[in-house]
Structure 1
Amino acid sequence: MNQAPLPSYAPLAEVVRSGMREGVHYGAVVGLSAEGEVAYARGPVHDAMFPRSSAKPFQALAALRAGAPLEGTSLAIAAGSHGGEDFHAAETERILAAAGLTAEALRCPPAVPGGAAARKAFLAAGRSPERRYMNCSGKHAGMLAACVAQGWSTDDYLDPEHPLQVLVREATEDMCGERIAHTAVDGCGAPQLAVSLVGLARGIQGMRLSPEGSSERTIIEAMSAHPEYVSGTDRIDTELMTRMPGLVSKIGADGVLVLNVPTGETVAVKISDGDAEERARVLVGLTALRGLGVDVAPVKEHLTTPIQGGGRTVGEVRGL
């Protein structure tokens, strides 16, 4: 099978340790103005990429369009990647119970909490991995609620040809304004749909700018109103949304991030090395948001990431 060549990613951030450049994070970043124009771009922003969990708002939209009774915290967690705290597991169970289901219906893998404090307490209690603690369980519960609302089968709800996943595809193409370039299997087992960074940004911006009371706008408002259900008490999405009221921040695996503010400006980032320590994508995203004229002063310390050595700060990751 022929493989497409890797995009020509651009240098976006440098790692400086004790005054010497140690490494460079490559990737792509796009910023849309409030009017929807590409006003900031570095790297191959029109090439297909997997948005990973940054696409969860589109999956939540499909669930709403199918009739899932999600609102407030249940809608936020359906569009989020929670940290596996007990209140996250409880909210997931509430969504399932309202649909007449239990956690046994979930098809995401069993997992331990992702948040550091929650994981430590979970393991200290001698507990084993559970599906409801997997960071995508809220999304899966929302999908199952949609299936029940429509009378669709629940055992195979992750099949790309299942009516719900067809609806996810349609919702994604509708919001992003482009055709899906490739379909893969995400870490949670759900179909993962490839779009461009521009498409991802356009989709999230379109949801924000949709009419008041629309399903699209309601999802964005639920995320910004309940950031702890989108992410967790010790995670960066929650911090950014809490300190910049109205902001929507949604990280995706393998170096992805999307940021959107109430006035419409939207940024989407892909760090090509995966940014496993999450030390590049946030500063790159906030730098782009600032470049669009958005005031990021409430979180200005995240415009760089400190590098530690010997228990003290000896350098930083900074934008290029």
Structure 2
Amino acid sequence: MSEQSLRQSPPSSTRRTPGAPPDVREPAHAPVAHMVRGGLVEGVHHGSVVVLAADGSVEFQAGDIEAAFYPRSALKPLQAVGLLRAGLPPLDDASLALTAASHSGAAVHLSAARRLLRSAGLTEDALRNVPDLPYGAEEREEWLRRGLGPTRLAQNCSGKHAAMLITAQARGWCLDSYLDPGHPLQWELAAAVEDLTGQGIAHVTVDGCGAPLFAVSLHGLTRAAARLATAAPDTDEGRIAAAMRAHPEMIAGEGRDVTRLMRAIPGMIAKDGFEGVQIAALPDGRAVGVKIADGADRARMPVTAAALERCGLDPRILAPFAAAPVIGGGEPVGSLRAAGTLAPHSAP
């Protein structure tokens, strides 16, 4: 689907006129994390970071927060709002959280995805996402121990795809082509992304799971996260946020840093995305967005923790997320942590 065809799509009844799309350019990233070994900086990760105050103003920024980029799975909470707006049938909170998840493939996730499909009389055969092994390390190990191979249900986006299918069925739309960027369901999801970010979509491609992926800015994505976190409970945005808060284990999985972060900070909603993307937002509107330029996941959470500290959160709560050990000879000899203007008081 081209940018032009997206803009010619039929408007949703809830769609607001978005602002201009972000510029498509190579982002001017800045140093945001250092890997320090034995007191020397061995590696540097560049990226972009934005911290929003409760009133929505930019309190801190590093790198390029206005260039178009792909949020990857950090877009899922916005897409989940779009599914509700498009007519997703009523779901319990755990199932609703799964629609915004990159799940580990634990039994609780797979059974919830099956229930979503069965609620519409569908089976795993209706899914069009790519087959994969479970994303969680322990879940994948157990899966392989049982002699199982990749399946569509085990793939970490199966909750979103199941929700897309049952929404399409509820609206009487074609199921086989639900991933086509020209499908009415994808028009609705694009409209929700534009509404929540407050900007037009700059580019459309295909995500790893096979679903359309919309390019926005890091600023716009973080603004959308704040909108979900502050929404009234009777709104679609508020329903998704409430489900995420009630069931952080469904958003990622036991032991995963996103689930741990939401449990550590009551009221927070958080979502990660491949290639070093993270958003997190508090009920009062404070929010952070992170993009690691080289996609290194190891830098994502230390940078996020530093950004959240700039929001005024207790560094003692953030300490488990703020640094990753660097190992030498089987012992810690340094750490990977936020750097540059993001962490002015950190060690080099």
Category of TM-score, reference length = shorter chain: over 0.9
1:9-88 maps to which residues of 2 (within 5 A)?
Answer: 9-69=29-89, 70-88=91-109
Q: CA deviation at 1:5?
A: 4.8
TM-score (norm 1): 0.96
Matched, 1:289 2:308: yes
Specify the alignment match of 2:346 in structure 1. none
Specify the alignment match of 1:166 in structure 2. 187
- Give the percent of matched residue pairs that are identical in Structure 1 and Structure 2: 45
- Once residues 75 and 141 of structure 1 are traced to their aligned partners in structure 2, the CA distance between those partners, rounded to angstroms, is 11
- Once residues 320 and 132 of structure 2 are traced to their aligned partners in structure 1, the CA distance between those partners, rounded to angstroms, is 32
Report the CA distance shift for 1:71/1:40 in structure 2 as closer, same or farther (over 3 A). farther
Q: Secondary structure at the match of 1:289?
A: helix
Specify the alignment match of 2:147 in structure 1. 126
Q: Secondary structure at the match of 1:132?
A: coil
Q: Is the 8 A contact 2:130 2:209 kept in 1?
A: yes
- Once residues 208 and 317 of structure 1 are traced to their aligned partners in structure 2, the CA distance between those partners, rounded to angstroms, is 29
Q: Secondary structure at the match of 1:96?
A: helix
Q: CA deviation at 1:54?
A: 0.4
TM-score (norm 2): 0.88
Q: Is the 8 A contact 1:15 1:24 kept in 2?
A: yes
Q: Is the 8 A contact 1:49 1:196 kept in 2?
A: yes
Give 2:133's aligned amino acid. Answer: V
Specify the alignment match of 2:18 in structure 1. none
Q: Is the 8 A contact 1:269 1:285 kept in 2?
A: yes
Cα deviation digits, residues 100-138 of structure 1 (max 9, x gap): 111111111111111111111110111111110000000
Cα deviation digits, residues 68-90 of structure 1 (max 9, x gap): 12330111010010001121111
- Once residues 235 and 291 of structure 1 are traced to their aligned partners in structure 2, the CA distance between those partners, rounded to angstroms, is 23
- Once residues 45 and 288 of structure 1 are traced to their aligned partners in structure 2, the CA distance between those partners, rounded to angstroms, is 14
Q: Is the 8 A contact 1:184 1:192 kept in 2?
A: yes
Provide the aligned C-alpha RMSD in A.
1.3
- Once residues 15 and 267 of structure 1 are traced to their aligned partners in structure 2, the CA distance between those partners, rounded to angstroms, is 22
Q: Is the 8 A contact 1:40 1:292 kept in 2?
A: no
- Once residues 295 and 165 of structure 1 are traced to their aligned partners in structure 2, the CA distance between those partners, rounded to angstroms, is 40
Q: Secondary structure at the match of 2:336?
A: strand
1:1-320 maps to which residues of 2 (within 5 A)?
Answer: 5-69=25-89, 70-275=91-296, 278-320=297-339
Q: CA deviation at 1:294?
A: 2.5
- Once residues 147 and 212 of structure 2 are traced to their aligned partners in structure 1, the CA distance between those partners, rounded to angstroms, is 32
Q: Secondary structure at the match of 2:298?
A: coil
- Once residues 208 and 233 of structure 1 are traced to their aligned partners in structure 2, the CA distance between those partners, rounded to angstroms, is 22
- Once residues 105 and 154 of structure 1 are traced to their aligned partners in structure 2, the CA distance between those partners, rounded to angstroms, is 8
Q: CA deviation at 1:319?
A: 1.4
Q: Secondary structure at the match of 1:273?
A: coil
Q: Is the 8 A contact 1:64 1:215 kept in 2?
A: yes
Q: Secondary structure at the match of 1:219?
A: helix
Q: Secondary structure at the match of 1:199?
A: helix
Q: Secondary structure at the match of 1:194?
A: strand
Q: Secondary structure at the match of 1:171?
A: helix
Q: Secondary structure at the match of 1:195?
A: strand
- Once residues 182 and 33 of structure 1 are traced to their aligned partners in structure 2, the CA distance between those partners, rounded to angstroms, is 28
Q: Which runs of 5+ in 2 are unaligned?
A: 1-23, 340-348
Residue range with higher mean Cα deviation, 305-314 or 126-135: 305-314
- Once residues 45 and 285 of structure 1 are traced to their aligned partners in structure 2, the CA distance between those partners, rounded to angstroms, is 15
Give 1:62's aligned amino acid. Answer: G
Q: Secondary structure at the match of 1:133?
A: coil
Matched length: 316
Q: CA deviation at 1:301?
A: 2.5
Q: Which runs of 5+ in 1 are unaligned?
A: none
